[in-house]
A and B are shown apart, each in its own frame.
Chain A
């Protein structure tokens, strides 16, 4: 019994049906508690006032925007190497979620940036590379939509995802080179363990980060299930047309 046995759609659907209710509840609870705690339970920042509270939406969505692409990269690789259909469909299912996360991060960032920096948008490395990530998501989804044969579409989008990842990283450093920006450094550097955010702000932030992660997982499982069922109905329809 290895993890690969879940590449079987039936087993995958059975497991995901069992896991999903738990995930949904956990995601709903942690997102709600994290956001409410962050919004009502923390003091205003001494410099930024109450605007700092958008951080509980901004940081988790930005985190998930990048991780969603990373997940698509991994599932694309699995599809290319082992050709498990569930993997390719999971990548397809994750893309719109990642797109929305990127959009949330961009919009909340603009809303936060307006009072803080006096501008809605700045051509700053982090902002710009997120905009490019947004474009990558658009292209990826558009390619899925454009190719008719599902297996070919999975192949093509997988390669696009790999190439896109390389260029996304390259763009990240290119825009850094091009313009030093306004955006502050990361608030929760995982590698060093040191935090620039005080504990009062950190705990609700961590909770909503976990919540967004769970929410992403639940959404992707749900959407993957939908994709599998869509594929099945299509197969059935083709068979019916043949017999009729």
Chain B
């Protein structure tokens, strides 16, 4: 299990592009926002938590179609299917590797990008916390989407169509927690809901992902 995780991490670091690409995409999205809505500081401050959340979500989505596709192409997935390790665990490790290589850098970069969007001072901590709590759910749900589309040629666009509606609850509670934090309100309720979604998806989604992989590769 740990070997699998280490292998995935190493691949992500060495493959070049995969690792930094998400961060660069996040930066670009955030840079484009002032061009599209206008550079007024007050306006930017009010939309900053939501935009940062959306940017992180899209950057996370971007890397999903590589999550299982490469393993599918070189036959690693078939090996995993027949390995003595339960496929559910392997899928969870895949999601964890995705979170460590893609989402965690986004979480850490978000407060820095918050400066660009004039995020209110109290908002940084809550943005960081809400992203840290919410992004594991994004990775786990995304793994399910990647498992659904793994055998399909050019499944990238289909993947976004399938995964984005599933991201809705996470986005709502995550952005709401960040927004309340930035506005100086109590963000605990949406944060607890977000934590509930994350824990629930971590507990259940690997089974769905593994089931879908078995069906798709039969």
Contact = CB atoms under 8 A, between A and B. Distances in A.
Interface of A: 132, 135-136, 138-139, 142-143, 146-147, 152, 155-156, 159-160, 162-164, 167, 170-171, 174-175, 177-178
A14 B205 CA distance: 40
Given A163-B205, A178-B172, 13 more contacts: A135-B161, A136-B165, A143-B148, A146-B149, A146-B152, A152-B216, A155-B215, A156-B215, A159-B148, A174-B168, A177-B176, A177-B193, A178-B176
A160 B151 contact: no
B62 interface: no
Contacts of B190: 177
Interface string B146-183: 00110110010010011011101100110010000000
Nearest to A159: B212
Contact of A142 (B144, B161, B164): B161
Contacts of A143: 148-149, 158, 162
Contacts of A142: 158, 161-162
8 contacts: A132-B165, A143-B149, A147-B152, A155-B216, A159-B208, A163-B166, A174-B193, A177-B172
Contacts of A171: 165, 168-169, 172
Given A146-B155, A146-B158, A147-B152, A159 B165 contact: no
Q: Is the interface of B mostly helix, strand, loop or mixed?
A: helix
A221 B20 CA distance: 51
Contacts of A146: 149, 152, 155, 158
Contacts of B176: 177-178
A164 B166 contact: yes
A79 B144 CA distance: 20
B161 A138 contact: yes
Contacts of B14: none
B164 A135 contact: yes
Q: Which 10 A-B pairs have the closest CB atoms?
A: A155-B215, A174-B169, A135-B165, A174-B172, A139-B162, A170-B169, A171-B168, A178-B172, A139-B161, A146-B152
